[in-house]
Structure 1
């Protein structure tokens, strides 16, 4: 039965119930809105990358690592992994110090005076070689110039011969 088929008073009551349900569902920290919304993060306390660059180093700044952790959770959900690739508290999932180097990427589709984080990546060192463990970009920035800039920045910072941890996904 459609809402339009209900008497006016019943329809109002059903819509009122749905509004109550929506209020609990959408904006709350643990509600479905938090699980279904993908955000970019304004970084008013960070410097904008210099011209034609996107990468912002985040390894040593707890506030920036928290943003990387948020992107890592998006990466985990999108790709179906059991855990996020980074904990912002400098420990890995076994409680050991986390030596991962992490970076953020500045959105290219915004024109702000401060950086707006639209993606992140994590790198580690394996047998003396740098390895890209994961990378995630906001869907609005995919298929545009951010990936090209991010990749160029990673090559400039870590050399063009770093390893890439599989599996690889076309959306990354």
Structure 2
């Protein structure tokens, strides 16, 4: 896969997990690697200096900030083979981090969101949003965000920006 390829990861193992799948430091390494690939796409598209998520990150890592990442996936129907395990395609991810603020109480912050261009605007994040609100409360959103995310946030309130 070349630098400019946006080929999403595909896996048989995801067929046993819900989407979005909560990914934490103790999640299987392979699943964390899928998220890292999507994080690299995020970095390149939005021209950030660093990847927002690395598969090797653990509580023992230098500078570790607690995270909860969600991996969005769906059946890769174009790859269906009769009598073979169903493959799932990783279509997006988003990551929350726990921050100790100097001017506000500690809280979760939505650090990044990235979906493959073919899967944008299909309601995946909208569908998960109520779960995020229920789990994280009135969480912060880290800026800068893309124009598309800005529009999303206008339609889906209950967040505070930092």
**Aligned length in residues:** 134
Q: Are residues 163 and 108 of structure 1, via their aligned partners in 2, closer, same or farther at CA, if it must alter by over 3 Å?
A: farther
Where does the alignment leave 5 or more consecutive residues of structure 2 unmatched? 81-85, 101-105, 150-162
Q: Deviations over 1:88-134 (max 9, x none)?
A: 11159x83335222110124885875542101111111233111001
Q: Which residue of 2 aligns with 1:95?
A: 62
- What TM-score comes out, normalization by structure 1 length? 0.66
1:168 has 2:136 as partner: no
* Distance in 2, Cα, partners of 1:43 & 1:154: 25
* Secondary structure of 1:35's aligned partner: coil
- Residues 69-148 of structure 1 aligned to structure 2 (within 5 Å): 69-90=36-57, 95-107=62-74, 113=86, 115-127=88-100, 128-148=106-126
* Secondary structure of 1:125's aligned partner: strand
Contact 1:44 1:114 in 2 (8 A): yes
Q: Over aligned residue pairs, what C-alpha RMSD do you find?
A: 2.6
* Distance in 2, Cα, partners of 1:108 & 1:149: 17
* Distance in 2, Cα, partners of 1:36 & 1:101: 27
Structure number with higher helix proportion: 1
Aligned with 1:55 (options 1, 11, 20):
20
* Distance in 1, Cα, partners of 2:75 & 2:135: 19
* Distance in 2, Cα, partners of 1:91 & 1:55: 21
Where does the alignment leave 5 or more consecutive residues of structure 1 unmatched? 1-28
